[in-house]
Amino acid sequence: MTNHWADLANSTCFIIWGANPAENHPASIAHIGRARFPQQFFGATDPVRAAKQPARLIVIDPRRNRTASLIDPAKGDAYIRIRPGTDIALANGLVKYMIETIEGYNGGGDPAKQAVYDNFKAYLNWSGNGTFYTDGKRTVADEAIVLNGTTPTALANANVESVVVKDAVGGTAYAAGDYTVTAATGEIARTVASTIPDGATVYVTYRYRSGASAAVAVAGSSKYTDARFLVKTDAADYQRATINVGTANEMSDIPVKAADVDADPNTVYNRLKAHVAPYTLATVADICGCTEAEIQLIGDAFIENSRCSSGASTDPRNPAYRATAMLYAMGITQHTCGGANVKSFAVIQTLMGNMGRAGGGINALRGIHNVQGSTDMGLLYGNIPAYSGNPGTQVDAIPSTNNAFGKYMDALWGTPLSGTGGKAQMNGSYDDAYRPDQMALQQRGFYNMTLKWFGNYAGINPASAATMADRTKVDACYSLWPKGNGDNHIEMFRKMGSGSVKAAVVWGQNPAVTEPNQGAVRTGLYNLDLLVVVDMFETETAGASRKSVAAGDASDGITILIPTAAHTEKAGSSTNSGRTLQWRYKSADPAGNTKDDTELLLRLAKALDTANAFQHITDVWTTHSIFAGPVNVYEELFGKPYSNPAGTGTTFIPGTTAFTASGGTVELVNLRTNVTDPVTYTPTAVTGSEWVAECVYREMCTASASGGTIWIYTNAYATGRTTNKHWNQADWGTDNRAKSRDNADPNSTMAYPGWGYAWLVNRRVLYNNNADNGGTGSLTGTSTSEVPGDVNDFYMGPDSCSRIYTSTESKVLNYSRWYRTIHRLNDRPSPVLAGDTTSPHYAGGAIAGASFAGRFPAHVEPYETPRQDLLTAWGRNTGTTFAAGAWNLVKADTPVAGRDLPASQFPLVLTTIRCVEHFQGGPITRNNWWNVELEPEPWIEINLTDARKYGIVNGDMVKVISARTEGLPGDMMANYGLGFRARVGSGLSSTQKVGPGVVAIPWHWGDKGLSTGSRANDVTIDAMDANTTIPEYKACLCRIEKM
């Protein structure tokens, strides 16, 4: 979430799109209710808020879910049903409608509407000073020198690059073979065979290293959006230029900007308008299956509840304040265009000025309480912790000559590190990448991880931050990082099936239920030599069929099930959807022989060390003297840091010491008799998992400048009590900020800054553009703060503004002081891939034959679609980083309707759903009698029209067949043949759960536990999103039969 749960009370409109928080995030409804029913919630305690107009609720989903049942049309609420997989079409239709509507207000004579137009354009056209880094280089144009024979002639400056030699000022350039350049001395000489006349005067244009790179102000920058930026005619990138040429403030690659969004046809704003031109109300209604009036209703709600209609107020309690919060979940991400779906939300919220504002933002509703924390920890195959990409380049030597470590560091969020002497000379040495005082947060975090997780931080990190660390030792530690990405989860199971992956450890996950196209998953699990499952129960994964000699296989497959503790039996921090770290206390010791995850992980590390799996680390340490003498890898990297960091206690060494022998003192919050009592904390001795969890937390959350490893959590553990406070916030009561339970709201903005700790730096609303950090404490709308009192923030893209447009470039931008590379999307509609200029992707939005589809989100059909007519025009999504081909987001061996089998055999769209009674892959809730009693079996929701067509009535058992299960012997695939209990709609089609042509099934069931049933993912497709590899669970084709 860019905002946070409590901040939802500041919203004046909720667009809940592809989510069902009433069922899947039920606690959120209380926060939403504060905005929808302010009088009831705030009453006399906050009469200003109580008097606010109730917020509107608009739910957009293929299914009329429990959240949609909360709407009140009398208050302007609405439920809009759309076909699964058509979200971008609706989003682009909204963009077109909102732009045209607002621009239509101009000059119409209505002062209120004119103000909306004026505010809208003033926001898009904002221009002022931004701060960026100079190149530390200068350009010299047409310096005249004489070249005699082959004798070198010196230019006025040394250390030159980008040399061009011409015959006259503005004349013709000589070929590169006509002269040689000695860059270090700045000397040029004719070659023997040169066409340059001997003794000729030539004119040389070049750049030279002129000194330091420094952060300076750049006029004409944008604080909010890239709407004024100009784009290239090939749609690949912004138009870029070098500014301040020939001066100390020279900067290259700066995007070219127009004076205002209407000043040039190639502004991002105008290209966006052209791109969405084909998305007329009629076209979008046809694609989505909604009405034109419903599109207009959503667009009007956005206009009425965005920055343009909010006036000057930044006080979210002010009756004039307006902000729309967009909330989404798996209904948006689980598509082959899921990343682009989210990008379309970013386009809308950026365009309408709802980013960085209280009650606004784009808010992902995470599936469980710590999904945000798991992605923070880099559990996805393409990341390391804290959203750094996997290092890709190995050092060529130690110390390196290819600057692998330095170049990786230079590309991270932070400052230019390619120079030396604290940016004194930008000479490509990358010395500054080894100097701690030059590193910004992400750079310092990676440096800390490298030394702490692969080496000797205390022995390598210099005592003075202004001193370079030993390059040899840092490079040696960096060499131990795994390089490149692993396999995505779809590819992983294919490799198990082929035999190239022989062992798997499945920890707290149940892929034999949760993965799509279960036939391929079961084949993979069957073929493993070793399968280790760490879980509370014997899951479907643990019980998966395995190869055996008795069955005719060449060898037996071994499965090991290791019992682990429940979440209530262990301590540690979790990070919720709102990015808030909160401490979870252990309520009981693990039962029986089960063990806490931290103990199991330390035992695994020790076992690997005993088996010499860490010998490569020992070899590097010994060769490069990382430690003063021989040391044990387990003890240095695991045992000491996480059980005895101070060196004064007992290090946990499995087989030698007991887990509970390790311990220390932590702060624990005291229980209160009344909620109004002050919050206090008591130093308490703890052992075992509680102590290890605290040690891990302290390593992660200490300030990055002091060695903290997870840069986004910097200062979430701090012995000082005044860091990262909001305006008027009381001092912290505990060092471990995740344990903080101060429920005060000092600025009356629903921030509650002392409750837990939000990354980054306890900022509760990201991108808030707080120019004065709430310094006046003003909450009347006169403060320059966008979110009064919050910790200051900016947009963190290279240009310090939110990007509507998505570039294809990936180079490091040296001027940036935040993210230094362009984050790209890898989507391209198949007609654009094929160059089909008859496609609507080329209509209006194309310049010189280049489509902007992919640079802006563009509608594509799901990989299995009932609308083959639309597939021909709009195509399906493809990934630019995948193998070439129009179907490259799905495996060739996956049966696909429309490619391998006729789509007409599968006339219904299947979407998968969750229910409040069961959790994820089901092991916990399907082994709990209370949950099983509430929902004992899986079901299928069917519209009455479809049910009558197939002779199905409520309570019948229904078989769901897709291309993945078509033709299976006896229609059996594990429990596939058990079917789903029919829940048939009644009454008007608009009030039924699903519309005609769509069926919905929950995915929590399998063949283990107290409740068993058909696996929804037997029939789903494993086509992947082009950016995230999330499968298209929410849209595939099927047919149904009464059993």
683-699 residue pLDDT tens: 999 999 999 999 999 99
Q: For residue 144, list its beta bridge partners.
A: 203
3-state secondary structure of 150: coil
Q: Is the pLDDT of residue 777 over 70?
A: no
What is the dihedral angle through the alpha carbons of 878, 882, 887, 889, rounded to the nearest 10 degrees?
A: -80
Amino acid at site 262:
D
pLDDT of residue 783: 46
Six-digit token string for 665: 């003192």
Rounded to whole angstroms, the Cα distance separating 374 from 386 reads: 10
Q: In whole angstroms, what is the distance from residue 731 CA to residue 735 CA? A: 11
CA angle 216, 221, 227 (to 5 degrees): 155
3-state secondary structure of 181: strand
Q: Is 705 helix (H, G, I), strand (E, B) or coil?
A: helix
Q: Answer whether residue 776 shows pLDDT above 70.
A: no
Residue 911 phi/psi, 5-degree rounding, is -130, 145
Here the tokens at position 28 are: 């959120």
Length of the chain: 1043
Pairing of strands 388-389, 383-384: antiparallel
Measuring CA to CA, how many Å separate 107 from each of 99, 115, 118, 303?
15, 10, 10, 18
Q: Which sequence spans correspond to the domains of the chain?
A: 128-264, 391-478, 592-664+687-699, 903-1042
Burial class (CB in 10 A: 0-12, 13-18, 19+), 153: middle
Mean predicted confidence (pLDDT) in 215-234: 94
Segment holding 59, helix H or strand E: strand 56-60
Quickly list H helices, 290-329.
292-304
Cβ neighbors of 740 (< 8 A, separation 6 or more) are: 679, 732, 733, 734, 754, 755, 756, 757
For position 370, what pLDDT does the model report? 87
Tokens matching residue 870: 């639309």
Residue 205 reports pLDDT greater than 60: yes
* Of 46 and 181, the one with more pLDDT: 181
* Per-residue pLDDT at 617 exceeds 60: yes
| 149-187 per-position pLDDT tens digit | 999 999 999 999 999 999 999 999 999 999 999 999 999
pLDDT at position 763: 94
998 close to 909: Cβ distance less than 8 angstroms: yes
Structural Rg of the chain based on CA atoms = 30
Note the pTM of the prediction, 2 decimals.
0.95
Q: Which residues contact 866 (CB under 8 A, 6 or more apart)?
A: 903, 907, 908, 909, 997, 1037
Q: Does the pLDDT at position 257 exceed 50?
A: yes
Mean pLDDT of the chain: 93
Q: Residue 753 corresponds to which amino acid? A: P
Q: Could you tell me how far CA 444 lies from the centroid of its own chain?
A: 21
Smallest CA-to-CA distance from 903 within 857, 847, 932, 861 is with 861
pLDDT of residue 881: 81
Beta bridge partners of 128: 221
Q: What is the mean pLDDT of residues 908-937?
A: 95
Residue 918 structure tokens:
């069961």
Specify the pLDDT at position 880.
85
963, 907 Cβ separation under 8 angstroms = no
User: For the structural domain made of 903-1042, what CATH number should be given?
Assistant: 2.40.40.20
Confidence at residue 172, expressed as pLDDT on a 0 to 100 scale: 95
Residue 846 is predicted with a pLDDT of: 64
Neighbouring residues of 298: CB distance < 8 A, sequence distance ≥ 6: 15, 58, 60, 78, 80, 90, 94
Amino acid 772: pLDDT: 46
Asked if residue 773 has pLDDT above 70, the reply is: no
- Confidence tier at 941 by pLDDT (50, 70, 90): very high
Residue with tokens 């992605």: 375
Helices vs. strands in the chain: H and E counts, helices first: 28, 33
- pLDDT score of 848: 67
Q: Which residues are CB-neighbours of 861 under 8 A, at least 6 positions away?
A: 85, 867, 870, 871, 874, 875, 876
Beta-bridge mates of residue 667: 683
Please report the beta strands in 830-882, taking only residues with DSSP state E, as ranges in sequence order.
877-879
pLDDT band at 705 (very low <50, low <70, confident <90, very high): very high
Identify whether the C-beta of residue 484 lies closer than 8 Å to the C-beta of residue 392. Answer: yes
Rounded Cα distance, 813 and 412, in Å: 11
825 — pLDDT class (breaks 50, 70, 90): confident
Tokens of 751: 């921030």
Contacts of 325 (CB under 8 A, 6+ apart): 3, 7, 8, 11, 13, 14, 15, 354, 359, 360, 361, 363
The answer to whether 678 and 665 have CB atoms below 8 angstroms apart is no
Residue 969 confidence (pLDDT) above 60: no
pLDDT at position 775: 39
Q: For residue 56, give the 3-state DSSP assignment.
A: strand
Contact, 270 vs 848, CB < 8 A? no
Confidence grade of residue 675 (pLDDT, cut at 50, 70, 90): confident
pLDDT on residue 677: 86
pLDDT given for residue 847 in this prediction: 73
Per DSSP bridges, beta strands 362-364 and 530-535 are unpaired
Rounded average pLDDT over 114-141: 95
Per the CB < 8 A criterion, the answer to whether 715 and 732 are in contact is no
C-alpha span between 270 and 472 (Å, rounded): 52
Which pLDDT score is estimated for 714?
96
Structure confidence by residue, pLDDT tens digits, 530-565: 999 999 999 999 999 999 999 999 999 999 999 999
Relative orientation angle of helices 87-104 and 292-304, to the nearest 10 degrees: 60
403-459 pLDDT, tens digit each: 999 999 999 999 999 999 999 999 999 999 999 999 999 999 999 999 999 999 999
Average pLDDT for residues 667-673, to the nearest whole number? Answer: 88
Q: What is the pLDDT of residue 166?
A: 97
Task: Tell the burial category of 421 from Cβ atoms under 10 Å away from its Cβ (0-12, 13-18, 19+).
Answer: middle
Alpha-carbon distances of 368 from 466, 505, 776, 1000, rounded to whole Å: 43, 22, 38, 21
For residues 1027 and 338, give the distance between their C-alpha atoms in angstroms, rounded to a whole number. Answer: 8
